[in-house]
Amino acid sequence: MNFFLIVLLTIWFAIVFAKVAKWLSEYYKFVTTINKIPGPKAHPIVGNALTFIRVDRKDRLKLSRDLCGRYHVEGVFRIWFGTTANVYFISPETVSVILRSKTLITKSEIYSFIQPWLGTGLITSTGETWHQHRKLITPTFHFNILEEYSVVMFEKAEVLKKCIETELKRNPEEPIDMYVFVTKCALDIICEAAMGVNINVKKDENLAYSTAIERISSHAIERLFRPWLHNDWLYYQTQRGKEFQHLVETAHKFTNKVISEKKMAQKIPRQNNPDENYKFEKPKRQAFLDHLLDACEREKMPLTDDELRQEVDTFLFAGHDTSAATMGWALFCIGNNPEVQEKIHEEHFRIFGDSKEPATLQQINELRYLERVIKETLRLFPAVPSVSRKITEDTEIAGYKVLKGSLASILIHYVHRHPNHWPNPDKFDPDRFLPENSQGRHPYAYIPFSAGPRNCIGQKFSLLEQKIVLTAILREWKVKSALKYEEAKCYNDFILRPQDGIKIHFTRKQ
């Protein structure tokens, strides 16, 4: 063999060997440091992934709670998914370090799994893109604009009541799966509030969008627990990956259709539109998209068509799924606590009397007890049970070094039940949120909308929607849950969803 070729190969192997040796040395130090954080024993290569894969979806939340209970004194523990270190923060003291940081704002790898769907919208973006978009979008949730959105909420709440009445006539003795109905209602609300488009979500073809985004979330979560599918190229060769692509196309098709139909509505009269599923008219009020376009012009920060679609996709997802989950769980909690329901009805009588007229926004704002009921629902069943960040700089938390390259998961579901901060944490008690009972509570003990720089921008929208819809229902009926607390199963697919729906019995109020 040529002498010079031998020399070149020797040098090449030496360089490769040195780089591999350096990587192994650095990775060994990384693993050694991370493993000083308490956590279950991990297997080589796969880490703890097999433990989660073997557990049924509906039991993973229980597994997480068991781990939280084991390490709640430390307020932190670690899990390995393959070679990726996930550090879980489960106490207000530890989560506050992450959430209040102005530098640890980059979402973790799992959000890249839904990036084909949401692009670089407000949920998934980071850095300058996130700062710019946040600045543009914040004014669209001003109180005065929320009043415009509330008109839509009142209208759709009345439609929901008619749907319940129809269902009760069909099967008066059978419980109604209200998770399905509030999901349709929330999607109706968010589409008109976001786009100014009135869609008939009761049609099966439009409900396909809601089904698609639920399955997109499920696919992303399942992918997290399978480290060998984290590589994009490999994932999209599998049947799961191909199904995920189809679901994303379905979701994009819905959004693009809504956007294009909105533009069409501005040009042609309502009566000339042949599509019966969509009812258009010149907007009487501005929608989220209108306000966003105004903000772009005002701030001289135009968004491309793709960026607009990504923000609308983000708003549709975050604005309908979270609210639907909370409204469903609220009915479940109210239906399991007759004394709470009685207080709600007493408050209704005090504010509405015998009137059958729809509520006004001023009256909705007076419903203090119902607001506490919603807050307590969000404590026990936070719509987003966990959020995750990428550690972009070495950080010390609770005496442990959390190294750059690891992932931080804030388990909101457990923070809200931490026994050091919530007496009798599993009990449903809206009076926890009386001013005198909230005094002195750790500011990060209750974070249903996250906290810090990346808190939920639409939390006031969501709370207003929940109060309006729940009031419309509870002024007409008494509700009783078909399932008790111990019988209800839920799972985390970005959103805390019920495994078997939210089955509710309705009785007309006398």
Distance CA 321, CA 299 (A): 30
Q: Where in the chain are the domains?
A: 35-508
- Mean pLDDT along residues 57-82: 88
Rg (C-alpha) for the chain, rounded Å, is 25
Query: What pLDDT does residue 270 have?
Result: 45
Q: Measuring CA to CA, which residue among 166, 203, 358 is closest to residue 279? A: 203
Contact between 137 and 292 (Cβ < 8 Å):
yes
CATH number of 35-508: 1.10.630.10
Q: Name the DSSP class of 492.
A: E
pLDDT digits (tens, 9 = 90+) for 452-476: 888 888 888 899 999 999 999 999 9
Q: What is the pLDDT of residue 458?
A: 85
Residues in Cβ contact with 113 at an 8 Å cutoff, skipping those fewer than 6 apart: 219, 220, 223, 224
Judge whether residue 230 has pLDDT over 90: no
The residue-averaged pLDDT of 15-28 equals 80
Confidence label for 235 from pLDDT (cuts 50, 70 and 90): very high
Instruction: Decide if pLDDT at 393 tops 70.
Output: yes
Residue 19 has pLDDT above 90, yes or no: no
The answer on pLDDT for 355 being more than 60 is yes
204 has a pLDDT exceeding 70: no
On average, the pLDDT of the chain sits at 85
| Residue 400 zone, left/alpha/beta (φ > 0; ψ -120 to 50; rest) | beta
Do residues 182 and 324 lie in contact, with contact meaning Cβ atoms separated by under 8 Å?
Answer: yes
pLDDT at position 490 over 80: yes
Which residue matches tokens 């009921």?
Answer: 373
Instruction: Enumerate the β-bridge partners of residue 395.
Output: 402
How many CB atoms within 10 Å of residue 443? Answer: 11
Whether the per-residue pLDDT at 147 is higher than 60: the answer is yes
Whether residue 284 has pLDDT greater than 60:
no
pTM over 0.95: no
DSSP assigned state of 201: T
More confident residue, 54 or 177: 177
Alpha-carbon distance 482 to 175, whole Å?
7
Maximum mean pLDDT: which of 34-43, 107-116, 299-308, 314-323: 34-43
pLDDT band for 199, please (50, 70, 90 cuts). Answer: low
pLDDT at 272 over 70: no
Share above pLDDT 90 across residues of the chain, in percent, rounded to a whole number? 45
Select the more confidently predicted residue: 268 or 254. 254
pLDDT interval class at 114 (50, 70, 90): confident
Q: Give the per-residue pLDDT at 278.
A: 47
For residue 470, the model assigns a pLDDT of 97
- 76-105: per-residue pLDDT in tens? 999 998 888 999 999 999 999 999 998 888
Q: So what's the pLDDT on residue 35?
A: 93
pLDDT at 264: 64
Give the residue with greater pLDDT, 443 vs 303: 443
Report how far residue 93's alpha carbon sits from residue 123's, in angstroms, rounded to the nearest whole number: 24
**Burial 291-327, CB ≥16 within 10 A → b, else e:** bbbebeeeeeeebeeebbbbbbbbbbbbbbbbbbbbb
First to last CA, the chain: 98
Q: Are strands 84-89 and 76-81 parallel, antiparallel or unpaired?
A: antiparallel
Range scoring the smallest mean pLDDT among 160-174, 301-315, 319-333, 429-443: 301-315
Packing angle, helices 127-137 and 288-299, rounded to 10 = 110
Mean pLDDT score, 404-428 = 94
